[in-house]
Amino acid sequence: MSRTVTRSVVVKTGRFDCPVCTRQTGFEHRAVKRYRKVLRVLKVPQGLVGEHVECDECDTTFHPSVLQGDTDARGSELCKAIRRVMVMMSVADGHLDPTEVQAMNRIAVDLTGIPFPEDEVNAVLKTVHTEGLPLNPWLRSLMGSLNKSGRKAVLMAAAGIAAADDKLEVAEVALLNRIAERLELGKKSVDHTLAQYATP
């Protein structure tokens, strides 16, 4: 039995101005590569998935352009991914609910420390509709730009939106399972994440 997995390797280390920490910190510039795994053994390299810069202090990932001075924290790969997955989860049922918009702001602040006001929600929504990028290819693209803690935060954001109306639909749980699978997190991650949103 074979399957595809991703692994990251450190390309470069050093110090940079972290937009989230707002000070000089250490970083690792990582290249993420895809491999075909056969019988629990990594076999054939399938190519480069992407690259990111990871802060040693806050664990946030950024596009490599951060090393050339791109210092807007909203530009972190994590912030962009969380915003997009929340909008995609919200419109999965065909419309954007006002309670979901409020939940997006609260979740964004909880996970990134950066508010996600309604005008920015609408801008991301417009981008999602314009690009028309289906969920699966977009999730696969995240493998190159987020570390494992970032991918878990994306799943947490998606689950938060699914639970925003206090009822989890079967389709929402199925979508969360699909997100976890594409982000190589596994079904236990979904169960653990949903347990955090369970009402006592």
- Full set of structural domains in the chain with CATH: 2-71 (no CATH), 77-197 (1.10.3680.10)
Phi, psi (deg, nearest 5) at residue 93: -90, 5
Number of H helices, E strands in the chain: 7, 4
Give the pLDDT mean for 26-55: 82
- For the stretch 90-142, pLDDT in tens is 887 677 888 889 999 999 999 988 899 999 999 998 888 888 767 888 888 88
pTM of the predicted protein model? 0.79
Q: Which two tokens stand for residue 198?
A: 């369970």
With bands split at pLDDT 50, 70 and 90, how would you rate the model's confidence at 174?
A: confident
Query: In this structure, are residues 5 and 184 in contact, taking their beta carbons and an 8 Å threshold?
Result: yes
Q: Closest Cα partner for 190 from 160, 147, 150?
A: 160
- The answer on pLDDT for 55 being more than 60 is yes
From CA 185, how far away is CA 196, in angstroms rounded?
16
- The answer on pLDDT for 59 being more than 70 is yes
- The answer on pLDDT for 60 being more than 90 is no
- The answer on pLDDT for 198 being more than 70 is no
Give the pLDDT mean for 20-35: 90
Which of the listed ranges 5-9, 44-48, 152-156 does the model predict with the highest average pLDDT? 152-156
- The answer on pLDDT for 171 being more than 90 is no
| Residue predicted with more confidence, 49 or 199 | 49
State the pLDDT at residue 81.
92
State the pLDDT at residue 117.
92
State the pLDDT at residue 106.
94
